[in-house]
């Protein structure tokens, strides 16, 4: 769990509910021996600057090339995106999408809704100053939509959500990420079918 800034504690609680061991990543050496890394919501500009300051901009892509899975929510999605529309900031650029920051409106316009997986299931979601995906690369798969817009996407072992699944009681998105990590837990063993979108 990248814990430089932002809302990482709810993600840690979600992983704990799934029975998955987790740790806070504060330094590049903390990436050793982990299967997946979550980039939480928060201030993407601040997190980007800290990624650069602590050497993560070089190390995370190297770890991804060795099989590390990534999951970015809200600001985390922005940091993973290849392009950020109308805004210049430090980011990783590992996911072939273009995003527009805060496109759902300011924080006072935050809302709760549901997103629809491609198989018709729905998952509750919280949108807070959420980015909108404006372009999808050919290798990017849309896993879920909200009112016709892609809000959960995947490219290889990189997963990104416009919303905050960690702020609801639903664990389906985190379960899906665990599958990308090759991880397992007591709960996913009981309900492995829920890992498939």
- Mean pLDDT computed over every residue of the chain: 91
* Given the residues 74, 91, 100, 181, the one annotated as active site: 74
Interior angle at CA 152, CA 148 and CA 154, nearest 5:
125
Helix (H) / strand (E) element for 10: namely: helix 9-17
Q: Is 23 a catalytic residue?
A: no
Of 53-57, 117-121, 180-184, 191-195, give the lowest mean pLDDT range: 191-195
**pLDDT at residue 78 in the model:** 97
Q: Is 166 a catalytic residue?
A: yes
CA distance 110 to 74: 12
* Given the residues 91, 164, 174, 181, the one annotated as active site: 164
**pLDDT at residue 103 in the model:** 75
pTM to 2 decimals? 0.90
Sheet holding 122-127, edge to edge: 36-39, 69-73, 158-161, 149-155, 141-146, 111-117, 122-127
Average pLDDT over residues 186-195: 40
Digit-coded pLDDT (tens) for 1-24 = 999 999 999 999 999 999 999 999
Interior angle at CA 131, CA 129 and CA 134, nearest 5:
150
For the domain 9-195, what is the CATH code? Answer: 3.40.50.880
**pLDDT at residue 195 in the model:** 43
**pLDDT at residue 110 in the model:** 84
Q: Is 174 a catalytic residue?
A: no
Digit-coded pLDDT (tens) for 27-47 = 999 999 999 999 999 999 999
Q: Radius of gyration (Cα) for the chain, nearest Å?
A: 15
pLDDT at 135 over 60: yes
pLDDT at 114 over 70: yes
**pLDDT at residue 121 in the model:** 94
pLDDT > 90: percent of the chain = 85
Which residue is listed with tokens 């061991």? Answer: 21
CA dihedral 68, 74, 75, 78 (to 10 degrees): 70
């Amino acid at each position: 769990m990248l814990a430089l800034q932002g809302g990482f504690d709810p993600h840690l609680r979600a992983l704990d509910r799934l029975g998955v061991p987790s740790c806070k990543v504060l330094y590049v050496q903390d990436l050793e021996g982990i299967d997946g890394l979550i980039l939480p919501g928060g201030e993407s500009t601040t997190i980007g600057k800290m990624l650069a300051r602590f050497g993560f901009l070089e190390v995370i892509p190297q770890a991804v090339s060795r099989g590390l899975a990534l999951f970015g929510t809200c600001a985390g999605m922005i940091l993973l995106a290849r392009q950020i529309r109308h805004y210049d900031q430090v980011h990783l650029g590992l996911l072939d999408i273009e995003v527009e920051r805060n496109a759902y409106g300011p924080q006072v316009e935050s809302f709760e809704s549901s997103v629809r997986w491609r198989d018709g299931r729905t998952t509750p979601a919280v949108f807070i100053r959420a980015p909108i995906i404006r372009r999808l690369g050919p290798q990017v798969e849309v896993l879920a939509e909200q009112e016709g817009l892609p809000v959960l996407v995947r490219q290889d072992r990189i997963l990104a959500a416009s919303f905050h699944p960690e702020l609801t009681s639903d664990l389906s998105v985190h379960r899906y990420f665990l599958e990308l990590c090759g991880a397992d837990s007591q709960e996913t063993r009981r309900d492995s079918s829920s890992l498939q979108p």
